Amino acid sequence: MKWLVLLGLVAFSECIVKIPLRRLKTMRNVVSGKNMLNNFLKEHAYSLSQISFRGSNLTTHPLRNIKDLVYMGNITIGTPPQEFQVVFDTASSDLWVPSDFCTSPACSTHVRFRHLQSSTFRLTNKTFRITYGSGRMKGVVVHDTVRIGNLVSTDQPFGLSIEEYGFEGRIYDGVLGLNYPNISFSGAIPIFDKLKNQRAISEPVFAFYLSKDEREGSVVMFGGVDHRYYEGELNWVPLIQAGDWSVHMDRISIERKIIACSDGCKALVDTGTSDIVGPRRLVNNIHRLIGAIPRGSEHYVPCSEVNTLPSIVFTINGINYPVPGRAYILKDDRGRCYTTFQENRVSSSTETWYLGDVFLRLYFSVFDRGNDRIGLARAV
């Protein structure tokens, strides 16, 4: 997320254990050639067209759009249920909320889980730490009943924060990770995997529709796809490796001139990031090309010029996904227009981009765990 995980440690009885990230064989390794790969995906695709919003197979859960910056939804934890606002995040795998024994100032400004009031609560002695780009937390792994709408996961392991730093200004209480289990820093099975394993959802897929211009109507859906939320066909993109929602991106261009990702690069499709994040040098070049002027931590353009700014085109698996100026420019509280391109604060040996909410407002996204792929289509 635009937090960008720097380090994750899991501690058991204060003994530090590293969580290994395994490189797995991908579908692209097994099936070579673009046409062969596309044919393979078509032959092995789920019959998503047969799953509709009317059926019992699809759970559609509303999300609140907060100023086009954050999309969050309600979940409940415990018996009787206690309600929390969380970000549904495809870049992380852990679910955590503040605990009532957290004394950090950030916890005091958010809803805290009162474990003594839940009859289904179960404590463990396993602790963990996560450091994000803009904060850090320490938590303890516990178990309880978690509900996402009508989806119920009993004895679900999750984290309760006992220390939080850098989250004081966040409007949401916690995070619900939807990435693969191998990158869980708490070591707990993610809620999507547990729901999948207990057959609470008919197909191992989930999807996002993010509304524009601060409007209502944003949703995350589990177990299928509501086709009213996008136009045309879904374009399927295989993951670079099974275990992370990252895909290969061909290039980034403006007016047919390549400006970044010239030799291909990695793109993480990230619902927990509000911006489009990339390497500092390349982000600075984009700002130079569109005439953005730095001021503080942001880059600004005259609001009168937004509609004349060039589209920035992200080419993924041979398909162009243009992002126009009116999409990558937002207004701050003073009515000034700033860009949503941000530099990645974490150095990487390979060129990596995070396609956050700016991109996903334009393109409906489907995350297919069964086939290790992402589907993209123009959002309505």
Residue 21 phi/psi, 5-degree rounding, is: -105, 115
Largest CA distance in the chain: 61
How far is residue 244 CA from its own chain's centroid? 11
If DSSP codes are grouped into helix, strand and coil, which group holds residue 189? coil
Indicate which residue of 68, 173, 244, 270 is catalytic.
Answer: 270
Indicate which residue of 68, 89, 244, 250 is catalytic.
Answer: 89
Q: Is-catalytic flag, 89?
A: yes
Residues near 83 by Cβ (< 8 Å), separated by ≥ 6? 74, 75, 76, 111
Q: Is-catalytic flag, 270?
A: yes
Q: Which of 157, 162, 197 is nearest to 177 (CA)?
A: 157
Residues near 103 by Cβ (< 8 Å), separated by ≥ 6? none
Helices (H), the chain: 27-30, 34-43, 105-108, 191-197, 280-290, 325-328, 357-360
Q: In the numeric block, which tokens belong to residue 69? A: 């910056």
Q: What is the DSSP string of 4-23?
A: ---EEEEEETTEEE----PP
Q: Give CA–CA dist 373/363, Å, rounded.
A: 15
Catalytic residues, which ones?
A: 89, 270
